[in-house]
Amino acid sequence: MPLWNQIYMAVWSITTRPIRSCLMALTLGAGAGSVALATAILAGYGQQMERMVFGAYARSLVITENTLIHDRFGPPRVSDLEALDQELGTLVEARAAWRTGFAEAQGDGDRYEVRLFGVVGDYQREANMAVAHGRAFTRAELAGAERQCMLGASAAARLFARPADAVGAPVRINGISCAVIGVFGPAETNTAERYALGVLLPFTAMVRYFDRSAHLAPDEANQLTVVLLDRRSISAARETADRILRREHGAPLSHAAPFRFGDENASLRAMNRQRDLLTRLLFSIATISMIAAAIGYGGYTLSAVETRRRDIALQMACGALGSDILFQFMLESLILGVLGAAIGAGVAAGLGFLVSSLWDIPVALDPSLALAALAGSIGAGVAAGALPASRAAAAAPALAVKG
């Protein structure tokens, strides 16, 4: 039987029974929509969780000295950022070097112990706080050594009666005056909370005027942060960074890694475990929905074959082969699978918008979800229709007529 004739017969069979065909497509669409919606909610939840808890840390290399090994090669250096840029340039979104310490600070009242953060580079990826008063550092100021600083919200509340009055006023840090140019607002991520009771300064200014630690050289940092464009490239970037830093610090491969590449204060592993648990839960529900849809579709297809036995017998009596009948039913399943995928993608998009608007559930719809729904629906339709189609193709015309 010519291909166009088989296509015509498949389309004719679908259109002559519109109610049954719609029910079959809706059954597949329900399963495909469940998978697409569950995946969208999972993706949205993961993105929101990363932003709220870790911010840029979720896709960063946080490089610190490995103090657990006996062979010490020193802490990372600011100059290491240039070497990392040469190899990781296409993967890097932002970078910064940090020098940390503690000091006594005094504003217009009592003295308090605060934490100092000397930084050069894109500090706002980690200190993820809006500027409530004043302004932020410029790139030139961070590269310089001016005695300027920014205060975290809690630090400003301690050092000044009114945090807004801190802008333009001096703060004495370890007895040395520093001009306040800005005050941060509340932290927007959990990892940014560490800066709320801190004072941020240019890296060189901190080393030159305010840092009393004698164990670090002027170019050495407590931490380097390399923010990557894509979280999926962390593993490859870590291997490359380890190789580069070994070369820069003279650490052979026979020694343990001289640097660590994760922030022990930001438990990214705990977040990933929680997200993996939710992943298994949502996909289990979606898989059950898809299996139920495939079973329901298979039942509809089997019923359709039983009610069309005389039509099948007539086709075979007119010269149609069993392979022609099989191909026709598989083609019907394919068409209904495509319709079900389209319905499922539309339902998922609509429900995703609805639940996001009404219940503030994060939903991240992606074009790849539509393709996944299409493939799943088509696969389920063809697989569920295979058995009834093979039974129809194997039936003898005389027996079919009797049925």
pLDDT digits (tens, 9 = 90+) for 297-344: 666 666 666 666 666 666 766 777 767 777 777 777 777 777 777 777
Q: How many CB atoms sit inside 10 A of residue 403's CB? A: 11
Contacts of 369 (CB under 8 A, 6+ apart): 36, 39, 40, 345, 348
Strand segments (E) across 296-350: none
CA–CA separation, 362 vs 359, rounded Å? 9
pLDDT digits (tens, 9 = 90+) for 185-242: 988 777 788 888 899 999 999 999 998 776 788 899 999 999 888 877 888 899 999 9
Q: Which burial class, exposed, middle or buried, applies to 352 when counting CB atoms under 10 A from its CB (0-12, 13-18, 19+)?
A: buried
Average pLDDT, the chain: 78
CA atoms within 13 A on the CB side of 197: 10
pTM for the full predicted model: 0.58
The one-letter amino acid at 76: P
R_g of the chain computed on alpha carbons? 32
Return the percentage of the chain with pLDDT > 70, whole number.
Answer: 67
Contacts of 367 (CB under 8 A, 6+ apart): none
pLDDT digits (tens, 9 = 90+) for 227-255: 888 877 888 899 999 999 999 998 888 88
